[in-house]
Amino acid sequence: MPQYTPPLRDMQFVLHELLDVETQLKALPQHAEIDAETIDQIVEEAGKFCSNVVFPLNQSGDEEGCTYAGDGVVTAPKGFKEAYQQYVEAGWPALSCDPDFGGQGLPELVNNVLYEMLNSSNQAWTMYPGLTHGAYACLLEHGTDEQKSVYLPKIVSGEWTGTMCLTEPHCGTDLGILRSKAEPNGDGSYAISGTKIFISSGEHDLAENIVHLVLARLPDAPAGTKGISLFIVPKFVPNADGSLGERNGIKCGSIEHKMGIHGNATCVMNLDGAKGWLVGEPNKGLNAMFVMMNGARLGVGMQSLGLAEVAYQNSLAYAKDRVQMRSLSGPKAKDKPADPIIVHPDVRRMLLTQKAYTEAGRAFCYWVGLMIDQEHGHPDEKVRKDSGDLVALLTPMIKAFITDNTFESTNLGLQVFGGHGYIKEWGMEQYVRDARINMIYEGTNTIQSLDLIGRKVLADGGAKLKKFGALVQAFIAENAGNDEMKEFIEPLMDIGDKVTKLTGEVAQKAMKNPEEVGAAAVPYLRVVGHLVYSYLWARMAKIALEKTTGANDFYATKLATARFYFAKLLPETAYQIRAARAGADTLMALDAEAF
């Protein structure tokens, strides 16, 4: 059976030693009173809930899956509803929400820590409250005062859940060709008709109401993405007093039978004149939905971080316990017939790859969470602007780089188990299956790569990338005279220079041939992702060098992992740079008919 223990020590390291969150939060008026001890207490209690209540349902939920009973009725696996009720009663949905609507007003960063543990415990279950938090953020920014007063208190409390209904059978990521229609009813509402697919948490029995955020077209709307509007379409239309009214014309037509995340209902949603209300301006729906979509991209990164951690914990425990063959340098467990497999170099490679990617991913997600808090609440306009630019730059990497790395990590975890990894009872194959969707939904990782290189780097002449580069250069300058840091600073300088050069080369090629952007995008994201991880690992290595006291203490282990990352994982960039430079010619040479 799988196991999970919240990695509190490493979380505390990132929060307090790497990010110094208490000092950073004191600069934000709404969070100035929050101290490190309070954060640690919240995280510890969250860890207990995740490991004791949600984690035990992960494997059984995967085996049972969701049930479609017909006529739009879907039930979640046994225990999911009761766990959700405990989640609501404990106040976890309100953790980082606005106190004006019943929230606790804690930093988004703290919410990120909660969601890492929830996803380690049970990604499928966590998607129900996770999407709800995205709906909250969208309505908070773009809803009318009346919409906020009706919907947000119920969403913040967790009494109602939320979804986002974007794609349709024919359009996938290309939302510009969606066909769902919204006709005015004459009373301020709209009659919405169409079919939406792949709607996570689209129907279930966990909460009394589901608030769907639906993209559709108004009459005479412009073609393409410029003609998309956003609507609130509740499962039950609320009465004026907030109680539930009539059943709306939006129903689940079926649920998808999927490779993974079986415990979450992925629905086909049919809208037949469903009553909806416009959110934001007409034909500006995609801009409003981007609040939820960007939140979802960050959330998917957190999903994969959680899976990477739990997969690592289980493969590490197995490698220490499983005995097989002898060490190449001679027996290590002389009282046993064979040595634990953790003595073998390649098993260690797999474990250290998992460890290095997981710990860098945690630092990455928490750092971005802190910058989101700074973007929304810092009194200095320049800090808000710089934080927002960095969040925009890093969001596609949170989604794509972490999910790619986690799929590799969960596969390595399964490999450590050998044949037992392929057997369901050990739980490892579920982590592989669950991790695979994270590379696809909320925009495939290719879409994220195009977003990074096209919109976030080339579109502004590299301005956002230069802001990140300035952080890297400042750290390098600060440590230039530190001989102990040389082994980390030199490769960080090298990959920084290579990113600058590669960016310029792609930009020049793209001016002559736009296909060059598409050809370079995926390897480019891998290279820039490694620049981010190199920066974070160098920062963590500095702390470890200053604090380590012995060969086996926490900091010595952190230092060894940093050295492994620079020696064994960063060299991937040599291949990726060469692949990016290879250009579009070999990709585009064949006519489609020639394949």
The number of CA neighbours under 13 Å toward the Cβ of 267 is: 32
Q: How far apart are CA 423 and CA 416, in angstroms?
A: 13
Render the burial of 137-159: b for 16+ CB within 10 Å, e for the rest.
Answer: bbbbebbeeeebebbbbbbbbbe
Q: How far apart are CA 79 and CA 204, in angstroms?
A: 13
Residues with Cβ within 8 Å of residue 493, at least 6 apart in sequence: 476
Q: How far apart are CA 398 and CA 100, in angstroms?
A: 30
Structure tokens at 572: 């991937």
Query: From residue 9, how far is each of 154, 157, 553 by CA, in Å?
Result: 35, 30, 12
Residues with Cβ within 8 Å of residue 270, at least 6 apart in sequence: 195, 250, 251, 252, 253
Nearest to 466 by CA among 386, 564, 360: 386
Q: How far apart are CA 345 and CA 350, in angstroms?
A: 9
Q: Judge contact between 221 and 232, C-beta under 8 A.
A: no
Rg (CA), the chain: 24
Would residue 546 show up in a list of annotated catalytic residues for this protein?
no
Structure tokens at 559: 């230092």
Catalytic residue among 116, 429, 442, 516: 442
Q: How far apart are CA 48 and CA 50, in angstroms?
A: 5
Structure tokens at 247: 């059943």
β-bridge partners, 184: 190
Residues with Cβ within 8 Å of residue 221, at least 6 apart in sequence: 227, 228, 229, 282, 283
| Active site members | 442
